[in-house]
Amino acid sequence: MHVLIVGAGGFVGRHLAGRLAADGVRVSAAGRDRRRLDRLLPGLSFLACDLATDGMAEWLPRLAGVDAVVNCAGLIRDAGGRYAAVHDKGARALFDACLAAGVRRVIQISALGANEDAVTRYHRSKRAADDHLAGLDPTGERMDWAVVRPSLIVGRGGQSTALFASLAALPLPFRLGSGRWLLQPIHVDDLVEAIVRLLGRPGRIATRIDAVGPAPMTTDAITLGFRRWLGLGSARFLPVPVRLIAATAWLGQRIGLGAVTPESLAMLRAGNVGDVEPFIAICGFRPATLDRALARTPATSTDLAGARLAPLRPVLRGLLALVWLAGGIVPLTLTSWAHSLALLAGAGITGAAAPVALGGAALIDIAIGLALLLRIRLRAAAVISILVMAGYSLILAICFPALWADPFGPLVKNLGVLGLTLAVHALETDRG
């Protein structure tokens, strides 16, 4: 069997590709970034695609010789109306091409809640594509299909796991809203097992399946489950008002940060549960409870450290950005020009070159600070900041060696800033 996975670089796509390849299935990974897919899924064949722009003309030649397609593509944020472009329009073009190319089976990874009562743009866009797929061949005579609608998906590398593990690792775990919002988490391994069984299932499928765990859980119970997995004891919850969560989600939506967006918050508040029995009947197994699923891969000290560091990522980046912004703004607005020019004269920079050097250095500092704050090529900005700071420190050490003995330690403190910069650079390795 030759399986094409669209969105293979995502959380579910990566796990599915790895499982199928381990089972000896021929897998083609489709996505926008070849270098990223080569890094994440070495050894698999790659197809360049972009659901936001590709139509049938682009998809037809890619589908030659493909027996089954699994569409795992999904977005967290609706930046520039991309839900409609990727979830709906792009998926419909893919499904049309599958039918025309003679692909025998298509599996669409949708979302629990993408039904007739869908209210969020995320769910409506998924539902539109689901309906289109089902309408192409309702009985599956020419191309059979399955729409798999998972609830909260947990597992290493997932946004939901990162969120709840971070909440659980806090000294006082945050309580989301009332703490009684209901979800029905399914582990990614169980979701992948279901997809694998659907791919190999004999006969026609033509069905929609809610992929849920064995029972609903409150958000408090999920957080405590992750706390147990991390090896932490019981703790009291710290309530977080819904308005504060909403404000954080709104800000995260604008700056592209965090797993909680206004849409995902609306989904949490509305609840995300379903009946597990049809899933069991179709897929032939019962998904594991959260505790048992997490126990398959016991947490390590690295998991605990990652959970504790995750909430600090934006804090560390913000602090480093503040250092550089202050380094550029203060000399231009608060420090007297006479004092600044006197310092430059001590370094041998005088005359017309002095104001240029002062203004240029300040603008470089501000540019680095803004790049860090706005998440513009973060790792490159961190490397540039190290080089610039090293240059400043070298000049000061040579021209003003007395600063090493200064009680405020202006040069020694650069070592602390260097450590902060290295931490920011390390924590942003998955962002390019």
Contact 114, 93 (CB under 8 A): no
b/e sequence 248-274, b meaning 16+ C-beta within 10 Å = bbeebbeeeebbbbbbbbbbbeeebbb
Strand partners, 30: 6, 47
Give the three-state DSSP class for 299. coil
- Pick one of 3.40.50.12160, 3.30.70.141, 3.40.50.720, 3.30.70.2860 as the CATH number of 1-150: 3.40.50.720
- DSSP letter string over 348-368? T--TTHHHHHHHHHHHHHHHH
- pLDDT tens-place string over residues 73-108: 988 777 677 899 999 999 999 999 999 999 999 999
Q: Give the C-alpha separation, 229 to 221, whole Å.
A: 12
- pLDDT tens-place string over residues 271-330: 789 999 999 999 999 999 999 999 999 999 999 999 999 888 888 999 999 999 999 999
Copy the structure tokens of residue 23. 């089972």
Contact 204, 140 (CB under 8 A): yes
Residue 171 has pLDDT above 80, yes or no: yes
Query: Per-residue confidence at 432, pLDDT binned at 50, 70, 90?
Result: very low
Run of H or E including 2: strand 2-6
Domain ranges of the chain: 1-150, 314-431
Round to the nearest angstrom and report the end-to-end CA distance of the chain: 34
Give the three-state DSSP class for 232. coil
Query: Per-residue confidence at 431, pLDDT binned at 50, 70, 90?
Result: very low
Run of H or E including 277: helix 277-283
Give the three-state DSSP class for 297. coil
Contact 3, 28 (CB under 8 A): yes
- DSSP letter string over 394-420? HHHHHH-GGGGG-TT-TTTHHHHHHHH
Whether pTM > 0.95 for this model: the answer is no
Alpha helices in 102-255 (DSSP H): 121-136, 159-169, 188-200, 219-229, 242-255
- pLDDT tens-place string over residues 116-128: 887 788 899 999 9
Strand partners, 187: 154
- pLDDT tens-place string over residues 35-68: 889 888 998 999 999 999 999 999 999 999 999 9
Q: Are strands 153-154 and 186-187 parallel, antiparallel or unpaired?
A: parallel
Enumerate long-range contacts of 26-29, CB under 8 Å, 24 or more apart: 26/1, 26/2, 27/3, 28/2, 28/3, 28/4, 28/66, 29/5
